[in-house]
Structures are given as structure tokens and as C-alpha cells.
Structure 1
Amino acid sequence: MTVRERTEEIERITLSPFATLSENSRGRAVPEKPCPLRPCFQRDRDRIIHCKAFRRLKQKTQVFLSPEGDHYRTRLTHTLEVSQIARTIARALRLNEDLTEAIALAHDLGHTPFGHAGERALNRLCPGGFKHYEQSVRVVTKLEKDGSGLNLTWEVLNGIVTHTRGEWAATREGRVVRFADHIAYMNHDIEDAVTAGVLRNEDIPAEITSVLGSTKSERITSLIMAIVEHGAEDIGMDAERAAAYEALHDFMYSTVYVDKVAKKEEQKVDKLIRELYAYFKDTPTHMPQAFLYIMWQEGVDRAVTDYISGMSDEYATSTFESLFVPQKWQIL
């Protein structure tokens, strides 16, 4: 028996009847020989961590654009917090932690520079619109590894594309990640907003704090416990904590996410993305060779969208400056 086979046996013995067993995966688009060490979902997790798109998350906005200070979240730290919360829930419910973690680590790989401001800008420019969760699937199936993709399992791809809204994931692990994503961003965005001075803890309505708690730790723990206590068969929460969860969501979207101080720079994002999009659409040969292959196969709009959406905040800004901002004359 190989190490992988022994791990799969442990899954059969220890995981919940509602868990997704590695040996029961629907497989990959391109069949591969099983790894002697790692079950398929662990193998996916490793591929995601080592891919280029994952590394770029460290310089992509979460909420506050290019914040000054070491302790604000980036898209990478958000992703790690989602993974931690999702794994905590999965372990408590005896679900497949490897599958849960793989989905969590990959869920935002397709996010644009400058967070949702960049996503909205590309959505207006790209024919057919732009959704970061769809782009995340495209990253792992098409763009990574010089166009060959990561060849992830069906279950991971399904969890990625359903992590935000609409149809729920086919697996309980994917449904856990959707909750973990919301729990993570609402609570860490509160902390960042308080640090930035655009929110006070006492601003959070009493109807929320009386149910979930008044600190980040209390709220996260309360929401995790709500899901765990609800059970693995139907991933969800009891009515009281679900209502408080929705109220917290509504509160954040009516305060922090529309705050004029926090969002005042976002109008500049629209101009930056529009200018880059127009430039590379007019002169596509100035894009890297890999995106020219995409242009020949799928059209220039698709290639430009892939190129810009993959940029970090810093790279997008420096590219804009090199193209449109006069450079200082240097005497040699």
C-alpha cells in the first residue's frame, strides 16, 4: 500500500459520510497517474500554492488601495484567513480538509488589481463582462504553466466558481469555503476600517453585537460555531445567527465599502484600467508573447483582459506611468 492509498484509507475511516473522499473525485480534464504520496486534493493544494498567480496576490488590494502600513490586509492575507477559517470548520465537521483548503487558496486567483474597483472597471470594458470567480477558474485551467493550466480536479474547480454567489457548490467543502470567505472579509475589513479611522467598533449595531459578539475574535468564533452546530449534512446556520450574519453584511456594504475616505481613490482606478485596456487593445504586440497566443486563439479583448486582470497593483501602476507619465530626462 502506498502512502497515498493509506491516506485514502484513513479518509474512509475517519471522515463524515457527507465528506468528499479523495478516491471518489470526478477526476481531472486530463487524466494523470496518481501520486504515490498525495491524494488528488492535496496535490491540487500544492499546485495552487506554487503557482505564479498565488504569489501575485501579495500585491493585490483587499479593500484599501495600496495602504500605507504593514498591517492592512492584501488579497493574499485575505486568502490565508479564508483558508484558516474554512479548515477549522471542515475539521470540526470531519469534512475533507485538503479539498477545502485547495478551494480556499484558489478562490481569488483571478482577482484584478485594485480589488473590486478593478473588477468593476474590467466588467465595463470586457465584452460579456468580467467576474473574478470565473477568471479564477480560467487562471487555473488556461493561464498558468504557459497556457497548459494546473489541471485541477473537478471538485476544486466547482468550489472556486461557486464561492461568491449563485448556485451552491456541489460539495460540502465548497459550501464551507463560501461561508468562510464572507466571515473572513467582513471581520478583517472591520479591523482594517477601524485602523484606518473610517469606522469605530461602537458603530456596529447592537442587534449584531448582542448575537455575534463585540470583537473580531468573538464574531468569527460565533459564526464558525453556528456552522459547526448546524452540521455537515446541510451547511448553514441557525436562524438567529444567520440573521445577524446578514445584518453584518448589510452594515458593511452601507458603511465601509462605500465610505468616501476609504474609496476616494477608486475613481482613478477606472481611468487607469481604461487607459491600459485601450492601449494594449490598440497595440497588442506590446503584451508578453503568451497573451499574443491568446489573442490569436480567442481575440484581442480576451487577451487584454487576461493580461490586465493578472497584474498586481504595483505592476499596473508602474505600467501606466511608463506609458502615460513623462519620465525625467537623465543626462548620461
Structure 2
Amino acid sequence: MPELQPYACHPERSRGRRYPQAPAPTRNDFQRDRDRVIHSSAFRRLVYKTQVFLNHEGDLFRTRLTHSLEVAQLGRSIARALGLHEDLVEALALAHDLGHTPFGHAGQDALNACLHQLPPEPDAPEDQPTPHEPVGGFEHNLQSLRVVDTLEQRYPDFDGLNLCFETREGILKHCSRANAERLQQLEPGGVGARFLLGHAPSLEAQLANLADEIAYNAHDIDDGVRSGLLTLEQLGEVELFERHLRAVRQQYPALNAKRLLYETIRRMLTEQVYDVIDASRAAIAEAGVQSVDEVRLCPPLLRFSAPMRAQTGALKRFLMAQLYRHPQVLAQTERARLVVTELYLIYHQDPRQLPAQAPGALPISLRRRVADHIAGMTDRYAMREHLRLTGQSLFD
């Protein structure tokens, strides 16, 4: 690994794990975190969790697993150029979607609505939030942290994966104030503190977040065209894509449509990666940071240039209007919401349908237990379970 910059996270200076463990003889602590994520049950389930297109719609569309691998590749490439810790960036990239529900954002929105629309019953102690669980609705970033802190049950001495502070901090990209306060009560000065203080996370965490954005914009174009819901002519409206499409056509006038699309996306990705490297180097130099603690006191330093930020924003708006709100996608989204909602209601009304609680697990309310169970489902398991419990098949 290239020499780390002073503002990078250094594993030997880590703020440590919640449960102290002796260091591994051949791996640094961030490598160890990455390996624990890869061997987790939640990581394996990502192969059957959707991005835009549901898991049954085709074998070549992205899943949460393939997306996470693409984020890791982009993140490591940029981290190497900036002198950041590649293993930490990779651990964050591979862990960032562990808390996602089945059916992508449709499942998340449905589960969030269920938790808000069915508040705890005042006379039902089993439905009251406990001190060890989130409050309010469903936040997939907080659920990812919950997976690695609590829900994975692999070790004899503790729940969760017992990851380093720096990894846990980067997994929690967003957090409501109420849940940040709850985290602060459980772990004073821990991963919830920065949301209360208005501090930034490490540069590695900022990079994983940006690599996530670059990856999903690119692969949603690829999947959108592959599905037939987007055309190259439509994408010609987007400056960031059209500029490279035009250049590829000029250089390779006889190129077939598949290779034309792939080469255009490749060049678009390359431009964004180098833009992030150049803009971030300039921002870091201007800030003059020399430590992770100084990074935390600055506004985010990992960034696009202003022109590239405008172009990626235009691409996002295009994808929202032309792909995510396409009638065919919305029809599947509505079915997905119905599956998650009906599963929640059935489990909440008849907890006997839930799997037995793991021995030694922290006590949680029924409503959070239902949410944890549904959030851990894959698309196809949710479909099968819905069919078993309702006798209805909502998907072709």
C-alpha cells in the first residue's frame, strides 16, 4: 500500500473496538473489519437484494452485492491516489448496504411507513421501544450499523462483528437527531456524537459515500438501457453522458450498441474519478489538515468540482424522472411496498410467525423485532414468505 498521508485513518491509531481484542498477527484492524463483513450472513444476502430492478426480473441487473463490489473498486482506486487507507474504504464500501431492506428503496419506504403508522401501544409492554433499539421509523444507514453492532450473531463473547470505531462511523452516513441522542446515551462520544456536534466523518468515510454515488449513477444507466426503459437518444439529454457518447462515436463510428454504451460509461466513470481526485486534493491542501481530528472539524473535503457536481446533479434528476419513476418501475415498486406492508402487519398481529429470538440477544420491542426480520430478507425470500402467509403471488 502506498504511504498514508497524515490526515488518513491509521489502524494503529484507531479508537478501537467496543470489546477489546488482541491484534491479528498478519492483518491490520481495518483489513480484519473488511474480512468480518465479507464473512457475515448479511453480506451474503446482498446477492439477492435489489437495486432498481427486482431480483426476479433478470440475471444481469445489479444487486446490492455487485453494487457494493463496484463501490469498493472505485473507492480503493481513489483512496490510493489520495493516500487514504484503502482497506478501511473497502470495508465501508462492502458494509454500507448491509441494512437495506428487500426491494430497494420501495421496501425501506414501506417499512418506515409501517413503523410510523403503527405507533407503540401504550398498554402493550412488548410493543414499547427498549433502550437498546432505535426510535421512530426505519433508517437503512442506522440498520446497517445495527447489523454489525448487534444482529450478526457469530462470536461467543459478544453480539455483532465488533468492528473498529472508524468502520462503524463510516457505515453510519446519516442519522436522525433522536437516534443520534440514543446512540450517545449508549456510547458517550461514540458514533452518534458527530451528528450532535455537526462534525464530519473521516476522509475514508467521505470517500465511500462519494464512490457509492458514482457507482449507482453509472450502473443505473447500464441497467436502464439493458432493460429497455432508457435509450441512448434519451441519455443524449444529459451533458455528462452525451459528451462521452459523442466522442466514442467519433472515434469508433462502427461500434455496436453494447460496446458503445460500455465505453461511454467507462469514460464517464473515469472523468468523475479524476475529478474527485483533483478537487479533493485541492480542498485538502487549502484546509491544511494534518490529522483525522482536524478533518472532522472541517466541512466535507472529499468532493466533486463545482462543474462536475452540477453535471452529476443533472444526471440524478434525469434518472429520477426517466428511470426510477418509469411506469414499469413504479408498478413493481407498488407491489413491493404491498408485500412489505402486509408482512409487517401479519407478523405484528401474530408474532408466532416470527423465528425464535436468538439466545442472549438484547431485548427489543415486537415492532422492532418485526422490522429487523423483514429488513434482513432477500427479495425472493420476502416473495416466498408473502405467498406462504397470504396465498397471493403479486409478482409475475
> Do Structure 1 and Structure 2 share a fold, with TM-score over 0.5?
yes
Question: Please, which of 149, 153, 157 is the counterpart of residue 164 of structure 2?
Answer: 153
Which residue does the alignment assign to 1:96?
Answer: 85
Partners of 1:307 and 1:285 in 2: how far apart?
A: 13
Residue 19 (1) aligns with residue 8 (2): yes
Partners of 2:170 and 2:87 in 1: how far apart?
A: 13
- Within a 5 Å distance, the mapping from 1:73-88 to structure 2 comes to 73-88=62-77
Residue 187 (1) aligns with residue 218 (2): yes
Cα distance, 1:141–1:121 mapped onto 2, change above 3 Å: same
- Within a 5 Å distance, the mapping from 1:42-57 to structure 2 comes to 42-57=31-46
Which residue does the alignment assign to 1:279?
Answer: 346
Contact 2:224–2:230, Cα closer than 8 Å, also in 1: yes
Question: Please, which of 141, 144, 155 is the counterpart of residue 149 of structure 2?
Answer: 141
Which residue does the alignment assign to 2:258?
Answer: none
Deviation at 1:68, TM superposition (A): 3.3
Cα distance, 1:326–1:157 mapped onto 2, change above 3 Å: closer
- Within a 5 Å distance, the mapping from 1:1-332 to structure 2 comes to 14-127=3-116, 128-145=136-153, 148-162=159-173, 169-204=200-235, 205-209=237-241, 215-232=264-281, 233=284, 234-290=301-357, 297-325=363-391
Deviation at 1:197, TM superposition (A): 0.8
Equivalenced residue count is: 315
Deviation at 1:120, TM superposition (A): 0.5
Partners of 1:220 and 1:41 in 2: how far apart?
A: 27
Contact 1:133–1:164, Cα closer than 8 Å, also in 2: yes
Partners of 1:211 and 1:163 in 2: how far apart?
A: 33
**Cα root mean square deviation, aligned:** 2.3
Deviation at 1:208, TM superposition (A): 2.6
Contact 1:168–1:175, Cα closer than 8 Å, also in 2: no
Q: Which runs of 5+ in 1 are unaligned?
A: 1-9, 328-332
Deviation at 1:168, TM superposition (A): 7.5
Give the TM-score normalised by structure 2.
0.75
Partners of 1:142 and 1:82 in 2: how far apart?
A: 25
Deviation at 1:292, TM superposition (A): 8.8
Deviation at 1:160, TM superposition (A): 0.9
Deviation at 1:285, TM superposition (A): 2.6
Residue identity in the other structure for 2:387: E
Partner SS state of residue 240, structure 1: helix
Partners of 1:180 and 1:212 in 2: how far apart?
A: 20
Residue identity in the other structure for 1:173: E
Contact 1:140–1:150, Cα closer than 8 Å, also in 2: yes
Cα distance, 1:228–1:274 mapped onto 2, change above 3 Å: same
Contact 1:45–1:102, Cα closer than 8 Å, also in 2: yes
Identity %: 42
Q: Which runs of 5+ in 2 are unaligned?
A: 117-135, 177-194, 247-263, 285-300
Partner SS state of residue 357, structure 2: helix
Contact 2:43–2:95, Cα closer than 8 Å, also in 1: yes
Deviation at 1:206, TM superposition (A): 4.6
Cα distance, 1:192–1:142 mapped onto 2, change above 3 Å: same
| 1:238-274, Cα deviation, whole Å (9 max, x unpaired) | 2211211111122212221111122311111122111
Residue identity in the other structure for 2:85: N
Deviation at 1:314, TM superposition (A): 0.8
Deviation at 1:212, TM superposition (A): 6.4
Partner SS state of residue 32, structure 1: coil
Partners of 1:130 and 1:86 in 2: how far apart?
A: 27
Partner SS state of residue 19, structure 1: coil
| 1:73-118, Cα deviation, whole Å (9 max, x unpaired) | 1111111111111111111111100100000000000000011110
Residue identity in the other structure for 2:82: L
Contact 1:107–1:163, Cα closer than 8 Å, also in 2: no
Partner SS state of residue 198, structure 1: coil
Cα distance, 1:305–1:46 mapped onto 2, change above 3 Å: same
Deviation at 1:231, TM superposition (A): 3.3
Partners of 1:274 and 1:106 in 2: how far apart?
A: 26
Give the TM-score normalised by structure 1.
0.89
Deviation at 1:202, TM superposition (A): 2.6
Deviation at 1:213, TM superposition (A): 5.9
Partners of 1:267 and 1:169 in 2: how far apart?
A: 36
Cα distance, 1:291–1:62 mapped onto 2, change above 3 Å: farther
Deviation at 1:17, TM superposition (A): 2.1
Deviation at 1:286, TM superposition (A): 2.4
Cα distance, 1:276–1:210 mapped onto 2, change above 3 Å: closer
